Every structure is written in C-alpha cells, then in structure tokens.
C-alpha cells in the first residue's frame, strides 16, 4: 500500500476479497473480517438491513455506530443510489478516532468505491460532514455513549443502524444494555439494526433494549464450521421478517454467556464493565457455556 502508512495504533492489512482494512494495535483486532472487508459491509450490514428493498423510497436515514473506515456507509450509499439515484440519504456516523477515516481516503482503499461515494468519504473524513442535493451526512466525534444522546434529543429515527464496534470483550462500553437502549431510541418503527456479532451477551442486551432478534445465517458460499453458526445478528421491533434463531442459538441465550454487559451511568471504563459482568456471571445459576458447546459440538 504505497499511499497508506501505518500509525502507532493501527496498520493496514489485505483481506481475502482483495480489499484493505486496518488492524488496531490498541484493541488487538482488525476493523473487518479477514474474509473480506468490503464483502462484510454488504453482507452483514447493507443486505441485513434490507436497504435494497428500502431504496425505492425518496428518503432514507442511516445511523453508523463506529464509522471506522466508512465502508458500511459507502456500501449503503452505493446500494441505495444504484437503485434510486435521487434518493436523499441522511447519515449520522459516530466515531472516536477520525484518523482512521482520514487514512481510508488514501489510495488504494478509496478506489474501491464509485466516484460519487469517493467524494462523500473524502468530505466526511476531512470536513466531518457532506451536504449535497441528495446527501446530508455528519460525523460526530467522541465517545459514542455521549454523542448518541444528541441524536436521541433530536428524535432522530434511522431506517438502518449499523452497529460495528470492536468485539464485546475488547470494547464492552458499546455493547451494554444502557447504550443499546439509546441506540434503540434512534431506530425507526420499521427500521432494522444489524451487527456482525453473534454473541449471546449482545443478543440478550438487544432484547433487553426492547428489540426482537434474528440471525444472519451463513450463506451457501460460506460453509459452516463447528465454531461458526451465523454471520451476525439483526434486530427490529417486529420479528415477522427476521430469520429466526436456530435451536442451538436459542439455547445459547440460556447460558451464562448471555449475561449482558451493564453500564448504568454510560461512563464506566472497559475494566469496570468487564469486572461487573464477571461478578454477575459468577453468581448466576444459568447453564455453563462450556456444556452448551459440548452439547452442540462447538470447539
């Protein structure tokens, strides 16, 4: 990657679909699946939120939690405008570190997208907003637990929510019941929330936040292995159009793994949230996750 340099906290890496992502040295995780960064944006976020069907309308609103490289927003805009070029899209993106978005507008990362979307990503990264005849986009910088409250106060309602923080064990602050309650207040009555996470603690937190949940099943081109059972989770107020959880996934929600993270004041550190979570797991009388794994042959 001749135009993108590694920073002190993240470094670029190639994924299997030929697109690039970054590896965060701080969180010790990649921003995307190694199977394909661009593929993940389309499969686990755009398609899971039914944006192809919703693009027939004249207006759509999106909430991108943890904007990162901007891939989820970019994939959504490409999809929407390929179906309805005049659809006006409103995007609110929440992000802590704008340096990632700025690095993502360098070649060759930016060249993946159509020219109009490249312009959007540049504007968002450089100006923290993009205002055109068919787009109103704002990048809200800071702790998402606080910036989301601005949208709640404004009664913002998203047709699609992309929930894409680092994993629960690495970034528990953005997977708590309390934070997801804030996010749920920003979801339109017929909107959908999608996330790559299939963790039982995330799914139970979404349920406690007032949502129905479904699975994002493995596709035909994604053979199932014993340690994989879904591509992620989709949530909505109405479960009618969601793919139901399998029996294995339903039983997962009865184990200790389904104890959700808590952050009553929306200000606790990751260590505090993890310690509270561990203490609650230690005293609960739920089935152990290890016994569930043995029952279903999961490594």
Gap between the Cα atoms of 192 and 241, Å rounded: 10
79 inside domain: yes
Question: What is the structure's pLDDT at 14?
Answer: 73
- Answer whether residue 103 is part of any domain: yes
- pLDDT reported for residue 18: 73
Q: What is the pLDDT of residue 1?
A: 38
On whether the CB atoms of residues 174 and 182 are closer than 8 A, the answer is: no
Q: Which residue ranges in the chain fall short of pLDDT 50? A: 1-5, 223, 225
Measured distance between the N- and C-terminal CA atoms of the chain, rounded to whole angstroms? 36
Residues comprising the chain, all counted: 299
- pLDDT per residue over 83-139, tens digit each? 999 999 999 999 999 999 999 998 788 988 999 999 999 999 999 999 999 999 999
Instruction: Convert the pLDDT of each residue in 219-245 to its tens digit.
Output: 655 545 456 688 999 999 999 889 999
Domain membership of residue 32 (yes or no) is no
Which of 185, 71, 202, 62 lies closest to 135, judged by CA? 62
Domain limits at 128?
37-245
- In this prediction, residue 286 carries a pLDDT of 95
Query: Is there a domain that residue 13 lies in?
Result: no
What Å distances lie between residue 298 and 227, 244, 254, 295, CA to CA?
5, 20, 16, 8
For residue 189, being part of any structural domain is answered with yes
Identify the CATH number of the domain in which residue 135 sits: 3.40.50.150
Let me know if residue 15 belongs to a domain: no
279, 194 contact by CB (below 8 A) = no
Examine residue 296 and state whether it is found in any structural domain, yes or no.
no
Q: What backbone phi and psi angles, to 5 degrees, belong to 71?
A: -65, -40
Please give the pLDDT value at position 146. Answer: 98
Q: Which tokens hold the place of 212? A: 């129905």
User: Number of structural domains, the chain?
Assistant: 1
User: Looking at residue 186, what is its pLDDT?
Assistant: 98
């Amino acid at each position: 990657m001749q135009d993108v340099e590694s920073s002190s906290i993240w470094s670029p890496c190639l994924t299997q679909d030929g697109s690039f992502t970054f590896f965060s040295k701080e969180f010790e995780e990649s921003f995307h699946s190694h199977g394909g960064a661009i593929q993940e944006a389309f499969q686990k976020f755009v398609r899971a939120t039914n944006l192809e069907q919703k693009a027939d309308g004249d207006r759509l609103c999106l909430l991108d939690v943890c904007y990162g490289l901007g891939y989820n927003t970019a994939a959504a805009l490409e999809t929407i405008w390929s179906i309805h070029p005049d659809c006006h899209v409103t995007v609110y993106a929440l992000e802590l570190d704008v340096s990632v978005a700025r690095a993502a507008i360098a070649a060759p990362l930016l060249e993946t997208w159509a020219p109009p979307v490249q312009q959007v990503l540049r504007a968002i990264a450089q100006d923290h907003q993009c205002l055109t005849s068919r787009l109103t986009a704002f990048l809200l910088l800071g702790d998402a637990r606080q910036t989301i409250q601005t949208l709640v106060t404004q009664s913002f309602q998203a047709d699609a929510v992309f929930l894409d923080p680092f994993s629960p064990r690495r970034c528990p602050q953005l997977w708590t019941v309390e934070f997801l309650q804030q996010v749920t207040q920003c979801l339109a009555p017929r909107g959908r929330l999608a996330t790559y996470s299939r963790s039982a603690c995330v799914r139970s937190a979404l349920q406690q936040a007032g949502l129905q949940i479904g699975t994002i099943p493995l596709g035909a081109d994604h053979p199932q292995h014993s340690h994989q059972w879904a591509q992620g989770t989709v949530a909505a107020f109405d479960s009618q159009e969601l793919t139901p959880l399998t029996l294995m996934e339903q039983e997962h929600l009865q184990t200790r793994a389904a104890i959700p993270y808590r952050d009553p004041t929306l200000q606790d550190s990751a260590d505090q949230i993890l310690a509270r979570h561990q203490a609650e797991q230690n005293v609960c009388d739920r089935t152990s996750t290890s016994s569930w794994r043995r029952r279903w042959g999961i490594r």
